[in-house]
Amino acid sequence: MDRTLEDRVAAAVRSWGRWVPRWQPGESRARTRPCRLCLGSPLLGHAGLDTDVPHAVGHALSTRLKRITDAEVADYTEKNLPTLAAELGRAEERTRRSYRPQEGLDPEFEGLPLDPEPEPGAPFLFTLAGLARDSSRDLPPPPPLSEEAKAALRIEIRLADECGQHAVALIGRALEQYRPEIRQTLARHVEPQIQALMADLQRELNVPPLSG
Ligand SMILES: [Zn+2]
């Protein structure tokens, strides 16, 4: 990974811009819980996607930017934080042996609920989230850490967190220059669809049904 952070932000914005024309208002599933990735996200603010933008549209950029932050933190951890890197390696080894339906999804689906909302009185026989939970329960617990390792881990987790915050700040700065481009994409592909939807709604509400 020798591209600069700015290059990766540019690529994320381009990839999002290629996806947006495929977005349709009716397709995104209604959420019952706020999205942890998007709610109050400073990066969506920098991109100008924090107000009056359908969640799915902002989410598709959030996830692409999160992949950049995650890669920065993973790279830093790998190079500088040996205890945390070893611990993550062990956790990775454990999850490799369990079922992970949330992996390998396209960015616009990442972090969204895996299963549809259950309907009252009609429970699902099984859900993807349930299968993932059951398969990880079958694994033996990891060996306990020494006090020394725990202390080192606490420090390294803090450093990794700082690295993440630093990456978010840099990504936010890099995003500023794409605001006009992002605004144009919204104006071309998102706003007309919302206006059409509103017009349909208006028609339905205003026109009295034909009496037969
Ligand atoms: Zn979201």
| pLDDT given at position 122 | 63
Please report the pLDDT score of residue 97 as a whole number.
77
Q: How many CB atoms lie within 10 A of CB 68?
A: 20
- pLDDT at site 211: 59
Q: What is the pTM of this model?
A: 0.76
CA of 120 to the centre of ligand 1 (A): 25
Q: What is residue 119's predicted lDDT score, i.e. its pLDDT?
A: 66
Q: Is residue 211 assigned to a domain?
A: no
Residue 120: per-residue pLDDT: 65
Does residue 102 lie in a domain region?
yes
Establish if 122 belongs to a structural domain: no
Instruction: Classify 52 in phi/psi space as left (phi over 0), alpha (psi -120 to 50) or beta.
Output: left
pLDDT per residue as tens digits for the range 44-81: 999 999 888 999 999 999 999 999 999 999 999 999 99
Do the domain assignments include residue 151? yes
Q: What is the mean pLDDT of the chain?
A: 86
Q: What is the pLDDT of residue 44?
A: 96
Query: For the chain, how are helix, strand and coil distributed in percent, rounded to 5?
Result: 65, 0, 35
Number of domains observed in the structure of the chain: 1
Query: Is 212 among the domain residues?
Result: no
Q: Is residue 120 part of a domain?
A: no
Question: From ligand 1's centre to the CA of 31, what distance in Å?
Answer: 10
Please enumerate, as own/partner, the contacts of 95-103 that have beta carbons within 8 Å and a separation of 24 or more.
Answer: 95/136, 97/139, 98/132, 98/135, 98/136, 98/138, 98/139, 99/131, 99/132, 99/135, 99/136, 100/132, 101/128, 101/129, 101/131, 101/132, 102/132
Position 174 scores a pLDDT of 96
Tell me whether residue 37 is in a domain. yes
Q: How many whole angstroms from 93 Cα to the centroid of ligand 1?
A: 28
Distance 107 CA to ligand 1 centre (A): 11
**What separation in Å is there between the alpha carbon of 207 and the centre of ligand 1?**
36
| Residue 109 in domain | yes
Task: State the pLDDT at residue 123.
Answer: 59
Low-confidence ranges of the chain (pLDDT < 70): 1-2, 27-32, 114, 116-126, 128, 131, 135-139, 207-212
> What pLDDT, on a 0 to 100 scale, did the predictor assign at position 205?
83
CB 57 within 8 A of CB 188: no
113 CA to middle of ligand 1, Å?
Answer: 10
Which structural domain range is residue 183 located in? 5-115+127-206
